[in-house]
Amino acid sequence: MTTIWGLRFGLVGTLAMWFGVMTFANLPITANVAVPHFGIGLVGVAAVAALATYGAFTAVRRPRAVTG
């Protein structure tokens, strides 16, 4: 899966994928809002969501004109 992802989406995509995997593995993410570590898990979800949002906006942004 990693290899296929790397071949299809390239080095930056693979790095982003591994960052997401390691973040989800490092933090106790849960859907149970009653447990005390719910907020800790939310930080990891927010970090990956922020990275995905930045990537999406960067991907659709109009490229800069090359001058000179």
Partner 1 sequence: MMPIPHLEARSAGELQKGLVHDCCCLERVVGVRANAAAARDGAQLDFGLGVGPRRAAAADVVPARRPSFLLFLNVPIPLSLLGGRYVVEALADAVPAAFGLTLTVLIVLLGLQLLVRRLWIALIVFSVIRVIITPTGESAGYSASTSRVP
Q: Which residues make up the interface to partner 1 (CB under 8 A)?
A: 2-3, 6, 11, 14-16, 18-19, 21-23, 25-29, 34-37, 39-40, 43-44, 47
For residues 56 and 61, give the distance between their C-alpha atoms in angstroms, rounded to a whole number.
9
For residues 11 and 6, give the distance between their C-alpha atoms in angstroms, rounded to a whole number.
6
Distance of closest approach, residue 22 Cβ to partner 1, in angstroms: 4
CA quadruple 40, 44, 49, 50: dihedral, nearest 10: 90
Distance of closest approach, residue 52 Cβ to partner 1, in angstroms: 14
- Measured from the CB atom, is 26 or 67 closer to partner 1? 26
